[in-house]
Amino acid sequence: MNKATRQEMFERLRTANPHPTTELNYSSPFELLIAVLLSAQATDAGVNKATAKLFAVANTPQTMLDLGLEGVMQYTRSIGLYRTKSKHIIETCQALITKHHGEVPQNREDLEALAGVGRKTANVVLNTAFRQPVMAVDTHIFRVSNRTGLAKGKNVREVEDKLMQNIPKEFLMDAHHWLILHGRYTCKAQKPQCETCIINDLCDYPIQK
């Protein structure tokens, strides 16, 4: 995909959705961090259902710690791998209090040092909560990047690096959300909706009928 095609691709995505955002519900960087920690191998809808009740009783590191591990698990049981994720939440809250004055750090190194936080989670928080132009590559974005020819790669990091190089700077802040939503609702894994796709004429993938 050449530079002009990439420009056209994101202009269309922006026109269709001028202000894209995450489908996870949150009202603070801390809530977003917890929601993203819970979201691995889970749907955003499922996470939102759990966090609606959890955040109503605990939406700061200290109030989450006050619940304790068993208390957190009462709210996360509907989420896959909830025991491990709940343990990570408690450990992360403890680290936020002891090392970061109860605030979510705004740099990758400190974020990735938190329990259960990998590069993808850190990038989601940096981009969505702190509006930093970074790219979190999940399965949807990996698929869309390879299918379209926007950023082909054999692994997540390779795709991430190519996206950072290939996406025009004016679109980089919101590109994560456009690509993930496109992969979730249009460029689906099993049945891509090519006939209704707004970028199908720009894409390397053969149109599915």
- The residue from 3, 49, 87, 120 that is catalytic is 120
Closest CA to 139 of 120, 126, 122: 120
44 catalytic per annotation:
no
Question: What's the rounded Cα separation, in Å, for the pair 119 and 124?
Answer: 9
Tokens of 160: 């991430």
Question: What's the rounded Cα separation, in Å, for the pair 50 and 103?
Answer: 22
- The residue from 85, 138, 162, 174 that is catalytic is 138
Question: What's the rounded Cα separation, in Å, for the pair 134 and 40?
Answer: 19
53 catalytic per annotation:
no
CA dist 18 → 25, 57, 199 (Å)? 19, 34, 16
Q: How many CB atoms lie within 10 A of CB 195?
A: 9
* Active site amino acids: 120, 138
